Chains A and B, each alone.
Chain A
Amino acid sequence: MRDLLALQNLPAQDIRDILDLSQNLGEILDRPIKKLPTLRGKAIVNLFFEPSTRTRNSFELAAKYLGADVINVQKSGSSVEKGETLWDTATNLRQMGIDAAIIRHQVSGVPEQLAGVLDVPVINAGDGSHEHPTQGLLDVLTLRQAKGDVGQLKVAIVGDVLHSRVARSDIWAMRALGAQVVLIGPASLLPESYRELGVEVTTDLREGLAGVDAVQVLRLQKERQSGGEIPSQWEYRARWGLTAESLGWAKPDAVVLHPGPQNRGVEIDSDILDSERALVRQQVRNGVAVRMAVLFRLLGGAHDEQ
């Protein structure tokens, strides 16, 4: 493994290894001194071309806990804003000695392209509607901690699956581990072709939630309404919002995930988010553990041969 660009086609064993590693590194967050020498002297750049404070902070803390130095490059104020290409920016940073690049970009595939330009590990922190692999990993880690073997679970993903990089990474990770996956949402926001991959697809929340062990609730993006794909947030909530009533259609012990940030009262109600069944805090914590594991996996040994 040189890069982490996507979970699609990542062998199940690699996913399990990263989950085990994440599980074992999680305790670092509780240490009085969270500054290990593991990646001491490694310089990592966070290239965030799309704003995301939480994911950036999570990666930055993960890198710093392992002893690496981190710099943050954002679109605003960077050379990219002055017309430089992203590839030139990255190449220049490489000349300054960076050992890995973490990239968030609004266009799908940019991490893949960047990996073709750089000779150091590239980690995808979310690209367009494509993937958000560390989110997928932290979601299955959270599920595994709460419910045990993910391969025995049926998981619903509710919302704008079509445009969700989180959903895509979740689907690949869950499928690799053998979980059953059902996608639920408005037809205009569901990738119908996923049926061919053995994923259930339905527009009916009640039908979709029947018998599921976990529900991943996706964030409803405002632009879906302006793009005409849904009439209003309230109409969306009425049909696909996770409420005390609709959660009742899932198994009695079903748990709830949400990648955040949440629109309380739209895709999910506060009384669920604030209940024991919501694992959103564990997701955030596991995010740091997973990112430490990924950084350690990619930088913590002699370079793998390609």
Chain B
Amino acid sequence: MKNIALLLDSDAIRRALMRIAHEIVERNHGLDGVSLVGIRRRGVPLAKRVAANIALIEGAAPPTGVLDIGLYRDDREQRPFSAIDATSLNPGLINGRVVVLVDDVLFTGRTVRAAMDAVSDFGRPQAIQLAVLIDRGHRELPIRADYVGKNVPTARAEQVRVELEEVDGADQVYLERASEGDES
């Protein structure tokens, strides 16, 4: 048996992403020179939604890219093989620009570390920023998010599940607690 707690419903997700869009525009004084890069998988629809939100605010959407960080993982030897999705980035999206990485959950920071390495292979950004829907703590690297939908204190053994319309058919974020005697 698993103990499940709802963290964000679809309205809360919508409001969080609109706030993030405002913060990105505010921090960067508009959207000149800003690129959004969604990290596969759920970072990709999130980046598109944030871009659409920015278009509502600024009248135009920033360019977006897609990144699969599978080729940059540092734990492949410990995991079974997993496939790689297409990455869609180009130097024009990176060089001299503020690159906002977008992901669903910030946890250990290793995915973000891999994403920064990947972005650097396409060019030299002016700055890299990070937007996440959920920050659940437990960082293993000196990384922090610039834009956070919701900070959620969690235990290590707990799991944060983000479900999005585009991938999972519905918008919701919930916390799974392993109950007594449950291994994970």
Contacts and interface: CB of A to CB of B under 8 A. Distances in A.
Q: Do chains A and B touch in the complex (CB under 8 A)?
A: yes
Interface of A: 17, 20-21, 23-25, 27, 30-33, 35-38, 66, 296-297, 300-302, 304
B80 A21 contact: no
A35 B121 CA distance: 8
Contact of B86 (A23, A38, A66, A296): A23
Contact of A27 (B77, B79, B87, B117): B87
Contacts of B90: 30
A301 B121 contact: no
Interface residues of B, number: 23
Given A31-B122, A33-B121, A37-B117, A21 B83 contact: yes
Given A30-B90, A296-B84, 6 more contacts: A17-B83, A27-B88, A32-B122, A36-B71, A300-B76, A302-B81
Interface string B60-86: 000000001001100011111111111
A301 B87 contact: no
Contacts of B123: 32
Contacts, number: 57
Contacts of A35: 121
A33 B68 contact: no
A304 B79 CA distance: 10
B86 A33 contact: no
B87 A24 contact: yes
Contacts of A302: 76-81
A32 B123 CA distance: 7
Chain A at the B interface: SS class: loop
Contacts of A20: 83
Contacts of A66: 71
A301 B71 contact: no
B76 A24 contact: no
B52 to A, nearest CB: 25
Interface string B112-129: 000001001111000000
B110 to A, nearest CB: 13
A304 B91 CA distance: 36
